[in-house]
């Protein structure tokens, strides 16, 4: 913590250590798991995100990138895919007809389908194909991009934009949820193993709160908002 690690990082490091100790316990190298006895209640994670890159900021980064790198940045913002999933994407995984991408190698090792919006579809159909290469996004002689996060970081710095490459994924998730309110669909698109991870964005969904407050207007015998314990005014 003194070195600057956040509560989220500390919790994940402890989870990794606990997994290692559980294996050591099963293999009789340890008599108990010491991490489980550590009180983590005082380690707080940061508040849910309420900000993400704006469209103007994304365009500022794209303006300072090469044409192909700019396509990758726009594609990440339009699909919510992870950086590695996008730069390793091959044409064999893309179906223009079905408007979807099938990912076979993911962070969670679970294949998933990513539907394509009009914007994402336009990016793919406008991307030139290499004569011999298989990757959608390529440079040089058809090779895929490597160390893309560091390339993005340098471009964003020149554009004076503070957001990380991974924040493009947060942008997609936030925009999607505010427009659709569909947590289950977002979980499937992002490839989250559990809905708990997707719930980080749930504070952006407020439609159900408005529906609940609207019920105050539908109390029998009243025409104005009120509380369930109020007595309706007598008719004139």
C-beta separation of 174 from 205 below 8 A: no
Query: Is 208 known to be catalytic?
Result: no
- Which residues neighbour 134 within 8 Å (Cβ) at sequence distance 6 or greater? 90, 91, 92, 142
82 is catalytic: yes
* Catalytic member of 71, 82, 170, 171: 82
Question: Which among 105, 107, 193, 215 is annotated as catalytic?
Answer: 107
User: How far is it, in rounded angstroms, from Cα 213 to Cα 122?
Assistant: 40
For the question of residue 2 being annotated catalytic, the response is no
Q: Is 105 a catalytic residue?
A: no
Catalytic residue among 12, 157, 158, 166: 166
How far is C-alpha 23 from the chain's CA centre?
A: 31
**Interacting residues of 66 by C-beta distance below 8 A, sequence separation 6+:** 139
Question: 166 catalytic, yes or no?
Answer: yes
Of 97, 93, 102, 99, the residue nearest 135 (C-alpha):
93
Pairing of strands 100-103, 112-115: antiparallel
Say which of 74, 170, 171, 192 is annotated catalytic. Answer: 192
Does the annotation count 107 as an active-site position?
A: yes
Which residues form the catalytic set? 82, 107, 166, 169, 192, 201
């Amino acid at each position: 913590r003194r070195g600057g690690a956040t509560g989220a990082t500390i919790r994940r490091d402890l989870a990794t250590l606990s997994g290692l100790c559980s294996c050591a316990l099963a293999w009789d190298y340890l008599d108990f798991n010491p991490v489980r006895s550590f009180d983590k209640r005082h380690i707080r994670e940061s508040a849910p995100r309420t900000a993400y890159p704006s469209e103007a900021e994304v365009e500022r980064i794209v303006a300072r990138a090469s044409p192909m790198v700019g396509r990758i940045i726009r594609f990440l913002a339009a699909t919510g895919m992870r950086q590695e999933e996008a730069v390793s994407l091959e044409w064999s995984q893309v179906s223009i007809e079905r408007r979807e991408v099938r990912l076979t190698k993911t962070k969670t090792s679970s294949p998933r389908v990513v539907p394509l919006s009009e914007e994402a579809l336009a990016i793919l159909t406008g991307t030139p194909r290499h004569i011999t290469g298989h990757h959608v996004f390529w440079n040089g002689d058809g090779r895929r991009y490597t160390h893309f996060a560091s390339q993005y970081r340098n471009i964003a710095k020149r554009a004076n934009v503070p957001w990380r490459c991974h924040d493009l994924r947060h942008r997609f998730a936030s925009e999607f949820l505010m427009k659709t309110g569909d947590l289950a669909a977002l979980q499937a698109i992002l490839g989250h193993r559990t809905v708990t991870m997707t719930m980080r964005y749930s504070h952006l969904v407020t439609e159900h709160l408005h529906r609940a407050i609207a019920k105050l207007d539908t109390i029998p015998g009243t025409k104005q908002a009120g509380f369930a314990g109020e007595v309706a005014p007598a008719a004139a």
